[in-house]
Structure 1
């Protein structure tokens, strides 16, 4: 079995939410626990940090991994979905999982797949835990796939839980109110284990987290009360954020972050509060490691697609924000640029497409298209929906055609932005990757 054959087998034998959506969703921990027992409970061999949230958990997870590995620890990182290749999901000190390991694990898992019928995420969660065990990592940053309470990753007993924030997404699985979603995300809060909450502006969300923390005797810290965002200064390859730490007489603190998105104003306080809590737990995280981890997070961990500049001539930026809350900050940032906008846009059909379209700037020129996944909303259907919100543009069969059209139309100093779907961003990055 080759690496390509192993992935083809996994996608065929274990349904993947990334590919097929709802039919792959399998809530509950029974299958994961059976797999965990079969493999000898590999997650018990390392200490872990659990990260949940509607938006921001990827940026937060990668940043914490970058800081820890810069401080000298051997760090595992498990995230999803991937953009270019499956191996991006499982990393040790920024390096993707060895392809031969994927093959060996897959060949060895055939009997368990036949017996337990796990989902793709259930099986690959155990693949990650086994790899981290075999690689003898000191710490692993584990990003929740969806929700938290019933997510496959929730078999771990972390030293720290982090919930970046709550907004409406995956409502058909997690509930149709913020309180219901907070209940699911709060399911990662463990007994007597500290938890960091990034954003909880709505009273019902904060009350849900506080109630869960009290039930579990888990110390809870609110990042928004630890660090107040003051302002940010965009720079060529990132941004400097200015924060006001808690406490009287504290001097304003500047932090350079390689990720330039507007939403990072909420993620950086969460990351810094998590760092302070990890220090309390005994980790040696020097200020220089924090500075370098934030300043070089993409290089250290391989993170892609977060307000990423792919080209400066023509000017092309992409961002993986794909729900109402994420797109709101993308639009804020687009408008702050003050230049004509060419927006290549695509979404998957199981998202709240109408609420997202209502946020988009009508003054932009649009190029509607679809990513190369079965869940993608057809470009023509997206175009027709967008027209009812005053968004004008043409439909294109794929990202390549849309990009060529945008390049032909955009003048110097005008921006081509690509977003609306992780998968569309993945298709775009693949184009630039293959032309290097």
Structure 2
């Protein structure tokens, strides 16, 4: 098969969350275990870090990868979903898996696909593990896809686990309270393995404390040990690292950095990895170039400012709106699209009423109709118009905007994925 034929096969033959929603989510790990057994258990052949959370897990995973790369290690990185190319999901030192390797892997596992009938996500996890094992990475950063306890990535035995901010998202699958959702995320905590919590939250703290005690896992709330003083970081209230520059923008990233550096501290204390302060500074500053991170408060254009962010749930939107309030502009234009399962009234009620909106639809089956989004938004007082195609909406917004205005594009990862300039 050619690469395109391989992708067509993967997309058309396998259940896929982006296309099919929760019906593609298998509530046990049996398929992933069977696939990895077929491959000779590659997940046992490299060291790993496991990263879960509602918001911030992608950024944190890229930061971890960048810091470890800056320290001189060969680092695998598995993230999802991809924005532009399928190969973004599997990287080593920022380099995406080759199309040739994707084809070769798919051909190799075809007998297992026919027998096991895995989901798209289960197969991509197995592909990542197989690639990292074959390439003999020093360590791999593995981002959870959905939840934690039943996520396909949860067959690894990591050096340490990181859990970022917990918010209300995918409630139809993970539960409708922060406590229920955090219980699913806490499913990645392993026996005796350090677990770091990036952001302490009243509702989730008891859950993480209870599970860590059960598993005899050392538990660290990052903010108990690390804190910011301007652009400097304090450790136990003493100077730790000065003049830190975070290459991915957004004030909310400061929460993520605390968790990332607490995990790096645990790796260092284990004695298996030597990570200098210089490597930490370089990794954080050059995170985009080193890891290939996209879509996190990403500046696409000046005059007018055009910014995009993948934030797509209640907490994600709160972070985005806080950041927008700090920007200087005359008028705000927002290109907005969402997927069907979102709580529209809750989301829309938080959006700025003085902005002008272009309502569109992500080009995935789960994308909410632009007409429905327009109707619901206008009922709740937002002003704007319906332009279903995302890039058409962006072009119209840029034409309307003056040099001193701001155009924001978001609402869904799948909106960001379609931006031509990304």
Q: TM-score, normalised by structure 2?
A: 0.97
Question: Which residue number in structure 2 is paired with residue 302 of structure 1?
Answer: 292
Mapped partners of 1:242, 1:166: distance in 2: 26
Q: Does 1:358 align with 2:356?
A: no
Which among 216, 220, 244 is matched to residue 255 of structure 1?
244
Q: Which residues of 2 match residues 334-345 of structure 1 at below 5 A? A: 334-339=324-329, 340-345=331-336
| Counterparts of 2:132 and 2:371, CA distance in 1 | 44
Displacement after TM superposition at 1:228 (Å):
2.7
Q: Once structures 1 and 2 are overlaid, which stretch shifts more, 21-30 or 157-166?
A: 21-30
Q: What is the deviation of 1:363?
A: 0.7
Q: What's the offset of the Cα at 1:263? A: 1.5
Q: Does 2:317 match 1:327?
A: yes
Deviation at 1:250, TM superposition (A): 4.0
Shift of 1:128: 0.4
Residue 253 to residue 390, structure 1, CA distance change in 2 (3 Å): farther
**Alpha-carbon contact 1:245-1:253 (below 8 Å) kept:** no
| Alignment equivalent of 2:364, drawn from 373, 388, 396 | 373
CA distance in 2, matches of 1:29, 1:418: 36
User: 2:89 is matched with which residue?
Assistant: 89
Asked if 1 retains the 8 angstrom alpha-carbon contact of 2:335 and 2:409, the reply is yes
CA contact (8 A) 2:65 2:76 kept: yes
TM-superposed deviation, 1:35: 1.0
The answer (yes or no) to whether the contact 1:344–1:419 under 8 Å persists in 2 is yes
Tell me which of 382, 402, 411 is aligned to 1:411: 402
Structure 1 residue 262 displacement after superposition: 2.4
1:131-146 pair list within 5 angstroms: 131-146=131-146
User: CA separation in 1, counterparts of 2:243 and 2:259?
Assistant: 15
Q: Distance in 2 between matches of 1:20 and 1:242?
A: 45
Distance 1:211 1:99 in 2: 44
Moved more, 86-95 or 392-401: 392-401
1:116-135 equivalences under 5 Å are 116-135=116-135
Shift of 1:314: 3.1
CA distance change for structure 1 residues 230 and 393 in 2, over 3 Å: closer, same or farther?
Answer: farther
- The correspondence of residues 231-270 of structure 1 with structure 2, limited to 5 A, is 241-247=231-237, 249-250=238-239, 253-270=242-259
SS at match of 1:152: coil
Instruction: Describe the shift of the 1:242–1:358 C-alpha distance in structure 2 as closer, same or farther (beyond 3 A).
Output: farther
TM-score by length of 1: 0.94
Superposed, 1:310-325 pairs within 5 Å as 310-325=300-315
- Mean CA deviation greater in 97-106 or 19-28: 19-28
The 3-state SS of whatever aligns with 1:383 is helix
How far is 1:22 from its partner? 1.8
User: In the TM superposition, what are the counterparts of 1:14-25 in structure 2 within 5 Å?
Assistant: 14-25=14-25
Q: What is aligned with 1:58?
A: 58
Partner residue in 2 for 1:182: 182
Distance in 1 (CA, whole Å) between partners of 2:206 and 2:391 is 47
Give the C-alpha shift of residue 244 in structure 1.
3.9
User: Residue 344 of structure 1 contacts residue 368 of structure 1 at CA under 8 Å; is this kept in 2?
Assistant: yes
Q: What does residue 71 of structure 1 align with? A: 71
Shift of 1:230: 4.8
2:385 aligned residue: 394
Partner SS for 2:220: strand
Give the deviation of 1:252 after TM superposition: 8.2
Does the 8 A contact of 2:233 with 2:240 survive in 1? no
Change (3 A) 1:318 1:151: same
Distance 1:86 1:410 in 2: 33
Deviation, 1:254, is 3.9
Cα distance in 1, alignment partners of residues 380 and 251 from structure 2? 24
Which consecutive unaligned segments of at least 5 residues does structure 2 have?
A: none
Most deviating of 21-30 and 126-135: 21-30
User: For the Cα contact (< 8 Å) 1:309–1:316, is it kept in 2?
Assistant: yes
Task: Provide the secondary structure at the position in 1 that maps to 2:245.
Answer: strand
2:153 alignment partner, SS class:
helix
1:216 is matched with which residue?
215
**Of 263, 267, 283, the match for 1:293:** 283
Q: Matched residues in 1 for 2:11 and 2:27: separation?
A: 18
1:234 aligned partner: none
Structure 2 counterpart of 1:271? 260
Q: Cα RMSD between the aligned structures?
A: 1.3
Distance in structure 2 (CA, Å) of the matches to 1:87 and 1:162: 24
Q: Distance in 2 between matches of 1:284 and 1:173?
A: 39
> What are the superposed Cα offsets for residues 266-297 of structure 1, whole Å, 9 maximum, x if unpaired?
10111111111111112100111111110011
- Residue 371 of structure 1 deviates from its aligned partner by 1.4
CA contact (8 A) 2:18 2:365 kept: no
CA distance in 1, matches of 2:251, 2:18: 26
Residue matched to 2:100: 100
- In 2, the alpha carbon distance for the partners of 1:304 and 1:83 equals 8
Using the TM superposition, give the Cα deviation of residue 135 of structure 1 relative to its aligned residue in structure 2, in angstroms. 0.7
